[in-house]
Amino acid sequence: MTVESTAPRKTRGGKRAGSRKPAGEPQLVQLLTPEGERVEHPDYAIDVTPEELRGLYRDMVLTRRFDGEATTLQRQGELGLWASLLGQEAAQIGSGRASRADDYVFPTYREHGVAWCRGVDPVNLLGMFRGVNNGGWDPNENNFHLYTIVIGSQALHATGYAMGVAKDGADSAVIAYFGDGASSQGDVAEAFTFSAVYNAPVVFFCQNNQWAISEPTEKQTRVPLYQRAQGYGFPGVRVDGNDVLACLAVTRAALDRARSGQGPMLIEAFTYRMGAHTTSDDPTRYRRDEERELWEAKDPILRLRRLLEREGHADEAFFAELEAESDALAKRVRDTVRTMPDPDRMAIFDNIYADGHALVDEEREQFAAYQASFADEESR
């Protein structure tokens, strides 16, 4: 039988779209239940020390605190916009901690948790949201590329980078993040094609947070996203995106697989965007509170805390210290952002070209002269 069949929908013309079913319970890799219980998975064993568990917990708590602080700063007018990762901490910390220093990470605009794992100062993430730059860190410092806003583009950059890694004979791997919405972009499909054909050491990490702004995943696909990979000739797996251990284990395995010359892999982290798409968004217009409540019960931080507490891996002092560390982080973020200076106006003309461009030089001069004319006027 050569037909690979999936149950077709019986209606036509998108008529079904209104009747959105609540997300079912898909088959997914899970190592830690919402109740905080460790479970095993035949393909993805993981050994984590209590210290590592505390570390993952700390990462998630600090990330969430930072994220919350950023949302507040936006409300206070210190940022123009903020894209919150609330609810996606496990997907980001688990996958982020799976990568090695020599691996390279290509994020979207929401990977604050991954950035944290890579060692990017969270304050630097805020520059573009404040409007003082379009990318406020050196990508090569932490092998963490700039945030990419145009959906899906970075999947190709990651693939190209991975092709380069393979050419160099290095044993590093590359990881590209994108969302459920992004899976529809032609660029992501082309990245699948290129990575498969060149057997590039790249892992595609799709955070399916159920929504692309106001559109549910059903508007992007009618079968689970992890299945997309198979038709391109590499494996796909769905992981519980709210389970930091599963995300860590699966991503580590995928990166190792890539590293060892076995090519690309797609990970679909099944998670939920607990907040608005960005601070400009109003999700009450398109989704029901009950859905959010359902996912609240699966909170990634809470379940790890339950494990830590049940197993006695962390005591009150740990949680108290972490609380204090969170407060300190929040304060530092707040203070630094509030005093983050506007760029010099002449920066408009900086870094457009590495080797210069006559027109830029001319316009820079004209602009400077124009600005000087006001200064002259004022001083007169």
Partner 1 sequence: MAIEKLSISKAINASLRTALETDPKVLIMGEDVGKLGGVFRVTDGLQKDFGEDRVIDTPLAESGIVGTAIGLALRGYRPVVEIQFDGFVFPAYDQIVTQLAKMHARALGKVKLPVVIRIPYGGAIGAVEHHSESPEALFAHVAGLKVVSPSNAADAYWMLQQAIQSDDPVIYFEPKRRYHDRAEVDTEAIPGPLHAARVVRQGTDLTLAAYGPMVKTCLEAAAAAEEEGKSLEVLDLRSISPIDFDSIQASVQRTRRLVVVHEAPVFFGSGGEIAARITERCFYHLEAPVLRVGGYHAPYPPSRLEDEYLPGLDRVLDAVDRALAY
Ligand X SMILES: Cc1ncc(C[n+]2csc(CCOP(=O)(O)OP(=O)(O)O)c2C)c(N)n1
Query: Which is the catalytic residue, given 286, 288, 310, 357?
Result: 286
Helix/strand/coil for 209: coil
340 and 133 Cβ atoms separated by less than 8 Å: no
**x/- site string to Mg ion, residues 50 to 79, per CB under 5 A?**
------------------------------
Ramachandran region, residue 352 (left: φ > 0; alpha: ψ -120 to 50; beta: rest):
alpha
Is residue 180 within the footprint of Mg ion (CB under 5 A)? Answer: yes
Rounded least distance, CB 345 to ligand X, Å: 27
Rounded least distance, CB 110 to ligand X, Å: 5
**x/- site string to Mg ion, residues 118 to 137, per CB under 5 A?**
--------------------
> Which are the contacts of 3, defined by CB distance < 8 A and separation ≥ 6?
none
286 is catalytic: yes
Q: Which does residue 273 bind out of ligand X, partner 1, a copy of itself, none, counting CB within 5 to 8 angstroms by kind?
A: ligand X
273 is catalytic: yes
Is residue 365 within the footprint of partner 1 (CB under 8 A)? Answer: no
Going by the DSSP 8-state scheme, the letter that residue 38 receives in this structure is: B
Rounded least distance, CB 42 to partner 1, Å: 34
Rounded least distance, CB 6 to a copy of itself, Å: 5
Residue among 149 and 369 whose Cβ is closer to ligand X? 149
Q: Which does residue 42 bind out of partner 1, Mg ion, a copy of itself, none, counting CB within 5 to 8 angstroms by kind?
A: a copy of itself
Q: From the centroid of its chain, how far is CA 61?
A: 16
Binding residue (CB under 8 A) for partner 1 from 70, 93, 120, 158: 158
Q: Which does residue 222 bind out of ligand X, partner 1, a copy of itself, none, counting CB within 5 to 8 angstroms by kind?
A: a copy of itself
Residue among 70 and 267 whose Cβ is closer to a copy of itself? 267
Binding residue (CB under 6 A) for ligand X from 179, 241, 264, 275: 179
β-pair partners for 239: 29, 269
179 and 212 Cβ atoms separated by less than 8 Å: yes
Is residue 313 within the footprint of ligand X (CB under 6 A)? Answer: no
Is residue 157 within the footprint of ligand X (CB under 6 A)? Answer: no
> Which are the contacts of 160, defined by CB distance < 8 A and separation ≥ 6?
194
41 is catalytic: no
**173: nearest Cα among 263, 45, 269:** 263
**27: nearest Cα among 226, 291, 255, 297:** 226
Q: What is the DSSP string of 271-300?
A: ----S-SSTT--GGGT--HHHHHHHHTT-H
Q: Which does residue 110 bind out of ligand X, a copy of itself, partner 1, none, counting CB within 5 to 8 angstroms by kind?
A: ligand X
Provide the edge-to-edge strand list for the sheet that holds 104-106: 104-106, 174-179, 202-208, 265-270, 236-240
Binding residue (CB under 8 A) for a copy of itself from 232, 272, 298, 304: 232
191 and 155 Cβ atoms separated by less than 8 Å: yes
Q: Which does residue 284 bind out of a copy of itself, partner 1, Mg ion, none, counting CB within 5 to 8 angstroms by kind?
A: none
At 267, list the tokens.
Answer: 């990970």
d(CA 239, CA 28): 5
Binding residue (CB under 8 A) for partner 1 from 280, 328, 335, 368: 280
Q: Which of residues 190-209 bind ligand X (CB under 6 A)?
A: 209
Q: From the centroid of its chain, how far is CA 274?
A: 14
d(CA 109, CA 210): 17
113 phi and psi angles, rounded to 5 deg: -70, -40
Query: Which is the catalytic residue, given 110, 252, 277, 313?
Result: 277
Rounded least distance, CB 360 to partner 1, Å: 6
Residues designated catalytic: 273, 277, 286
Residues that bind a copy of itself (CB under 8 A): 1-6, 8-14, 16, 27-29, 42-43, 163, 166-167, 183-187, 189-190, 193, 196-201, 218-223, 226-238, 257, 261-263
Residues that bind Mg ion (CB under 5 A): 179-180, 209, 212
